[in-house]
């Protein structure tokens, strides 16, 4: 969620900011997963890796068969490390295994002085030279429509919006004293041509010149991972059962509050607050595709408290709701008609070569 190269790198004011992902993130502390795999803890504690020898003679060179074996092992002996590994799969896996699909999520986040984090009451004044109280409300919405079949060139529309509201002392949500901001980015790519817009700027168009779009799609794919990592230190797997999601066989993974904390699962960002926060899992459920391990739906809700730099209690809350639907008919991707070419940038080295070409001595 707003991780990595996305607008989300700017989540400096949000209490749940992560980095890496970049986004997408991005994304991870492989060493933590390795440590978990070595612990040998029981399934509900997240210790077992869930890695299995492929069944029916499948070789390690057969990725699909190996992944299927891992999923079957996970179904009977679930582990947190494997759940995280499935959620951390790149969007390239979804492109190859799902074909045309629609990924979307909504994440609502808030944080503020404990007892006033969701209140409409004005924030209290502070002493001279003390940090002011702040209260944030952030809604992050993303939609990705992927239209290409496996093996085809990229055709997609990514749209992401973040609605931020900051309340300062004397301000009420929606009243004077608040600062509100809506950040936006959209990206359309049809084979070798791209269209992009950010915030209040107009649409621009030009050729695709890099693979940065793959990082942005990883950012979208890892939205559920962001919140799963936040929940990791205080959560365990409650049960894994067979399910269906829009006709696709799936595994339903229900989470529960852990009887003990798991500090090795803390994934901190630029502001290392998670390790000292008191987290609480409100609810959590993830559906994994039975064939690929990709997440098909996720609902996770958390609360937390920690002390700010002035040693005052701060409380926060996040709820993530997301889903991925495969599409029998590829979605229609229509680029904007009023897009303008990207202004040509000065390239000093190329300009120098053109001006001095043929003038160099022997």
Q: Classify burial at 229, counting beta carbons within 10 Å of its beta carbon; exposed 0-12, middle 13-18, buried 19 or more.
A: buried
Tokens of 51: 């890695």
* The CA-based dihedral angle spanning residues 243, 244, 250, 255, taken in that order and rounded to the nearest 10 degrees: -50
Query: Which residue, among 15, 11, 10, 9, has the nearest Cα to 308 in the 3D structure?
Result: 15
pTM: 0.75
pLDDT digits (tens, 9 = 90+) for 293-334: 999 999 999 999 988 877 888 899 999 999 999 999 999 999
What contacts 98, CB < 8 A, 6 or more positions away? Answer: 146, 289, 292, 294, 324, 326
Comparing CA positions, the residue from 317, 233, 247 lying closest to residue 287 is 247
- Of the pLDDT bands very low, low, confident and very high (cuts 50, 70, 90), residue 46 is very low
Query: Do the Cβ atoms of 68 and 288 come closer than 8 Å?
Result: no
Residues 57-64 have a mean pLDDT of 59
What's the token pair of residue 232? 């990791």
Residue linked to tokens 């008191």: 278
Q: Please give the average per-residue pLDDT across 203-214, as a whole number.
A: 94
Where exactly are the structural domains of the chain?
Answer: 7-28+88-356
> What pLDDT score was predicted for residue 119?
62
Maximum mean pLDDT: which of 30-34, 49-53, 121-125, 227-231: 227-231
pLDDT class of 3 with cuts at 50, 70, 90: very low
123-144: pLDDT as tens digits: 777 777 777 777 788 899 999 9
The more confident residue out of 137 and 354 is 137
The larger pLDDT score, comparing residue 345 to residue 91, is at 91
**Phi/psi of residue 276, nearest 5 degrees:** -105, 5
For the chain, the average pLDDT equals 79
166: confidence class by pLDDT, cuts 50, 70, 90:
low
Integer Cα distance of 41 and 29 in angstroms: 19
């Amino acid at each position: 969620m707003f991780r990595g190269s996305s607008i989300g790198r700017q989540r400096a004011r949000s209490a749940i900011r992560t980095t890496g992902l970049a986004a997408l993130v991005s994304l991870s502390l492989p060493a933590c997963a390795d440590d978990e795999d070595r612990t040998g803890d029981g399934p509900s504690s997240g210790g077992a890796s869930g890695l299995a020898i492929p069944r029916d003679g499948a070789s390690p060179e057969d990725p699909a068969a190996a992944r299927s074996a891992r999923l079957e092992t996970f179904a009977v002996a679930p582990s947190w490390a494997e759940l995280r590994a499935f959620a951390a799969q790149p969007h390239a896996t979804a492109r190859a295994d799902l074909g045309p699909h629609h990924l979307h999520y909504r994440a609502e986040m808030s944080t503020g002085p404990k007892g006033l984090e969701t209140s409409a009451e004005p924030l209290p004044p502070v002493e001279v030279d003390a940090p002011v109280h702040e209260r944030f409300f952030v809604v992050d919405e993303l939609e990705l429509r992927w239209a290409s079949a496996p093996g085809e060139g990229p055709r997609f529309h990514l749209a992401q919006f973040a609605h931020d509201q900051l309340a300062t002392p004397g301000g009420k949500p929606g009243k004077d004293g608040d600062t509100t901001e809506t950040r936006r980015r959209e990206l359309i790519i049809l084979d070798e041509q791209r269209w992009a817009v950010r915030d209040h700027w107009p649409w621009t168009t030009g050729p695709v010149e890099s693979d940065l779009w793959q990082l942005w799609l990883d950012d979208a794919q890892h939205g559920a991972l962001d919140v799963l990592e936040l929940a990791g230190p205080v959560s365990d797997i409650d049960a894994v059962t067979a399910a269906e999601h829009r006709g696709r066989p799936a595994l339903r993974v229900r989470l529960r509050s852990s009887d003990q904390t798991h500090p090795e699962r803390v994934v901190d960002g630029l502001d290392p607050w998670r390790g000292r926060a008191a987290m609480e899992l409100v609810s959590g459920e993830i559906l994994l595709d039975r064939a690929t391990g990709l997440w098909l739906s996720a609902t996770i809700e958390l609360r937390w408290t920690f002390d700010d730099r002035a040693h005052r209690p701060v409380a926060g809350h996040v709820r993530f709701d997301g889903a991925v639907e495969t599409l029998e008919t590829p979605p229609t991707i229509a680029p904007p008609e009023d897009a303008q070419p990207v202004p040509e940038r000065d390239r000093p080295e190329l300009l120098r070569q053109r001006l001095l070409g043929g003038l160099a001595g022997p």
